[in-house]
């Protein structure tokens, strides 16, 4: 059991717990390079310092798996197994949540290829985690998010929606399931398969798909006002969601858009049978981001500007949630501080303090986190072990 030291508490106003989501303990078993470890936490930000490859990001990945989805690495379940271990892994946590204290666990059991979730000792779906814990993350791998295809931006956008609307996780999962079922039917039996069967699947896709698109539009519409203001040295950001369904929702009510989507699916059965998937739907939507001061799309900005835009979006999202719900999600910031100049780094730390967020931050240099002294717990990470850190 490891409890990190607080450093120099008299140097600041002192640590205080968040008003929202915060982990109070975290236990890993046979997870990545950890045979077994436990952290006891007080709800304040967490700083993990160590050399590259020591296991810092693995801890953040474990935290991310306490939410729906495949975590910040998007890894297959078997890839997370500890090398040389018995097979399978477990992540367990005690958390303060918007509905009160909760015990959460998720695992891949040795005999199973599927993910198991337990909430307060009872079995649950992975989507149910969104009702208790939400998290938003930035990792070095996301440095290309504005240059890649829309899939990574869409997943990032959905992660922002989860924190505002936990039911969105279930809607996305349900839509993707029925879309795969329709694609399988078209592949096996062609566009002339049982029209009643196809029609029922397309009706489900329309209902769920429009709900997904509407939730994304609601997020980006509300986020845009906060993002446009910027945050200290971080730029003002333009943000919107682009897609057929989202555009149709501007022209008419949701029920009319469901009818239009269902008709589009029926008309594209032949093409979809050949190509697989569906030519139209929220699975093709994209998150559009631009630098307001420069009037430039994010993909045309410099690498440094793109990183600042991404972090500005996360801060704007935290501001929205703090205003709307009085809470903010867990912030998982992997090696983020190292890529900021001193002004932006100080602004980030000030924002974390102001929001009362439990941010999990990694780095190789403890001195970089000195402004958080007395306000954050520090852990030294070395060879899959964690010890107290003074910084």
Among 261, 163, 251, smallest CA distance to 211 is for 261
Per-residue pLDDT at 19: 58
Task: Identify whether the C-beta of residue 69 lies closer than 8 Å to the C-beta of residue 32.
Answer: no
Closest CA to 70 of 149, 143, 179, 151: 151
Query: Residue 324 — very low, low, confident or very high, per pLDDT cuts 50/70/90?
Result: confident
More confident residue, 104 or 325: 104
**Pairwise pLDDT comparison (127 vs 391), residue with the higher score:** 127
Distance CA 372, CA 74 (A): 30
Backbone angles phi, psi at 248, to 5 degrees: -65, -35
Residue 263's contacts (CB-CB under 8 Å, 6 or more residues apart) are none
Poorest-confidence range of 6-15, 180-189, 233-242, 378-387? 6-15
Which residues fall within 8 angstroms of residue 88, CB to CB, at 6 or more apart? 30, 81, 107, 108, 109, 110, 111, 112
Confidence (pLDDT) at 10 = 29
In this model, does residue 4 exceed pLDDT 90?
no
Does position 76 have pLDDT exceeding 70, yes or no?
A: yes
Instruction: Tell me the pLDDT tens digit for each residue of 355-390.
Output: 889 999 999 999 999 999 999 999 999 988 999 998
- Can you give the pLDDT at residue 15? 29
Q: Which residues pair with 388 in a beta bridge?
A: 379
The Cβ-side half-sphere exposure at 201, using a 13 Å CA radius, reads 21
Residues 112-132 have a mean pLDDT of 93
Render 212-281 in DSSP notation, one character per residue: HHHHHHHHHHHHHHHHHT-BTTBPPEEEEEE-HHHHHHHHS-HHHHHHHHHHHHHHTHHHHHHHSS-SSS
Work out the average pLDDT over 232-261: 96
Contact 277, 178 (CB under 8 A): no
Say if CB 367 and CB 36 are below 8 A apart.
no
Q: Which of 199-203, 282-286, 385-389 has the lowest mean pLDDT?
A: 385-389
Give CA–CA dist 62/93, Å, rounded: 10
Name the strand (E) or helix (H) holding 135: strand 135-138
Looking at residue 213, what is its pLDDT?
A: 98
pLDDT the model gives residue 339: 86
Domain positions in the chain are 1-134+329-391
pLDDT in tens, 152-180: 999 999 999 998 999 999 999 999 999 99
Please return the burial class of 21, using the count of CB atoms within 10 Å of its CB with bins 0-12, 13-18 and 19+. buried
Taking 60 as the threshold, does the pLDDT of residue 329 lie above it? yes
Rounded to an integer, the average pLDDT of 41-70 is 96
Residue 91 Cα to chain centre, angstroms: 17
Average pLDDT value for the chain: 92
Strand partners, 136: 331
Q: What is the CATH number of domain 1-134+329-391?
A: 3.40.50.300
341 burial (CB, 10 Å; 0-12 / 13-18 / 19+) is exposed
Residue 47 has pLDDT above 90, yes or no: yes
> Taking phi first (over 0 means left), then psi (-120 to 50 degrees means alpha), and beta for anything else, what does residue 374 get?
left
Residue 110: predicted pLDDT: 84
Q: DSSP secondary-structure letter at 295?
A: T
Distance CA 212, CA 175 (A): 8
């Amino acid at each position: 059991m490891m409890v990190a030291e607080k450093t120099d508490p008299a140097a600041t106003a002192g640590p205080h717990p968040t008003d929202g989501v915060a982990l109070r303990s975290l236990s890993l078993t046979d997870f990545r390079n950890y045979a077994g470890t436990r952290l006891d936490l007080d709800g304040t930000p967490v700083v993990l310092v160590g050399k590259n490859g020591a296991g810092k990001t693995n801890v953040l990945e474990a935290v991310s798996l306490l939410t729906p989805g495949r975590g910040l690495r998007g890894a297959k379940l078997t890839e997370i197994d500890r090398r040389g271990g018995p097979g399978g892994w477990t992540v367990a946590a005690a958390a303060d949540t918007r509905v009160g204290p909760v015990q959460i666990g998720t695992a891949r059991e040795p005999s199973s290829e599927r993910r198991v979730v337990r909430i307060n000792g009872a079995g649950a779906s992975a989507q149910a985690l969104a009702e208790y814990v939400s998290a938003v993350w930035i990792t070095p791998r996301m440095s290309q998010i504005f240059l890649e295809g829309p899939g990574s931006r869409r997943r990032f956008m959905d992660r922002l929606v989860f924190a505002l609307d936990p039911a969105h996780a279930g809607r996305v999962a349900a839509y993707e399931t029925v879309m795969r079922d329709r694609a399988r039917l078209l592949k096996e039996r062609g566009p002339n398969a049982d029209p009643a069967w196809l029609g029922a699947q397309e009706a489900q896709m329309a209902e769920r798909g429009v709900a997904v698109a509407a939730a994304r539009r609601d997020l980006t519409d509300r986020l845009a006002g906060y993002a446009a203001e910027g945050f200290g040295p971080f730029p003002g950001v333009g943000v919107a969601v682009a897609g057929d369904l989202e555009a149709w929702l501007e022209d008419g009510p949701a029920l009319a858009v469901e009818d239009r989507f269902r008709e589009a699916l029926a008309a594209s059965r032949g093409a979809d049978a050949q190509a697989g998937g569906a030519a139209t739907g929220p699975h093709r939507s994209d998150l559009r981001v631009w630098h307001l001061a420069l009037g430039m799309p994010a993909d045309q900005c410099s690498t440094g500007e793109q990183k600042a835009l991404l972090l500005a979006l996360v801060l704007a999202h935290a501001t929205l949630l703090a205003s709307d719900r009085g809470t903010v999600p867990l912030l998982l910031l992997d090696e983020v501080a190292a890529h900021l100049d001193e002004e932006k780094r100080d602004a980030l730390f000030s924002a974390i303090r102001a929001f009362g967020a439990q941010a999990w931050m990694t780095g190789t240099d403890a001195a970089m986190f000195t402004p958080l002294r007395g306000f954050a717990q520090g852990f030294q990470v070395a060879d899959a072990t964690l010890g107290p850190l003074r910084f």
